[in-house]
């Protein structure tokens, strides 16, 4: 029920110049959680259709692992066959707001067209609302489905299951409204 109540339909791009993949979380310092892997796998699937597109892996070390999430995400994408030259690592952000703010700076600097968010389906509503609040124009989004999986550290419960992810996203949306991010 929560999936259909909370999720929004995709807005698929026609000719994406880049895909922005905010990390949902890492399992450890060498592997993204199932939800983050699903996002990367979906982005790589779309990259195969649009091989000129760049993938922006977005999140710094927000879990205290001593390595930016973006680096672990990039390594996973390379293991799926993505060429390193198609990767951009945004490694400073710690929140969704910062993911999208810093990624848009990269998109503008590199003049990339049709930026496309690739997020976990339960996270898409908040990511799209945040991008709109930041003034993103002519952007698209794709949603990946995944079961949960415990993440490293304090994110353990957040990513534990579909139910905990859903509850986290509802709370994060409320907090984002209070902070003025959406």
Question: In this predicted model, what pLDDT tens digit does every residue of 84-103 receive, in sequence order?
Answer: 999 999 999 999 999 999 99
Give the CA distances from residue 122 to residues 55, 90, 142, 178, in Å, rounded to whole numbers and listed in that order. 21, 22, 11, 20
Indicate whether this model's pTM tops 0.85. yes
Fold category of 2-179 in CATH: Rossmann fold (3.40.50)
Q: What is the mean pLDDT of residues 107-133?
A: 97
Residue 64 has pLDDT above 90, yes or no: yes
CA 45 and chain centroid, separation: 15
Count of CB atoms situated within 10 Å of the CB of 117: 29
Q: What is the mean pLDDT of residues 70-86?
A: 98
Output Rg (C-alpha) for the chain, integer angstroms: 15
Q: What angle do CA 22, 94, 88 make, to 5 degrees?
A: 45
Instruction: For 7-35, write each residue's pLDDT tens digit.
Output: 999 999 999 999 999 999 999 999 999 99
Query: Between helices 121-133 and 162-179, what is the axis angle to 10°?
Result: 10
């Amino acid at each position: 029920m929560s999936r259909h109540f909370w999720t929004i339909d995709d807005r698929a791009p026609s000719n994406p110049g880049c895909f922005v993949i905010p990390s949902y979380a890492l399992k450890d310092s060498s592997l993204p959680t199932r939800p983050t892997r699903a996002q990367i796998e979906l982005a790589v699937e779309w990259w195969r259709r649009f091989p000129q597109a760049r993938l922006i892996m977005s999140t710094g070390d927000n879990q205290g692992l001593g390595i930016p999430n973006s680096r672990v995400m990039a390594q996973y994408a390379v293991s799926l066959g993505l060429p390193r030259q198609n990767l951009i690592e945004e490694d400073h952000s710690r929140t969704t707001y910062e993911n999208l703010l810093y990624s848009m700076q990269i998109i503008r600097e590199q003049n990339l067209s049709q930026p496309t968010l690739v997020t976990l389906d339960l996270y898409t509503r908040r990511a799209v609302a945040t991008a709109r609040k930041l003034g993103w124009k002519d952007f698209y989004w794709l949603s990946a489905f995944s079961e949960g999986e415990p993440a490293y550290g304090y994110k353990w419960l957040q990513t534990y299951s579909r139910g905990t992810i859903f509850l986290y996203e509802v709370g994060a949306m409320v907090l984002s409204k209070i902070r003025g991010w959406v």
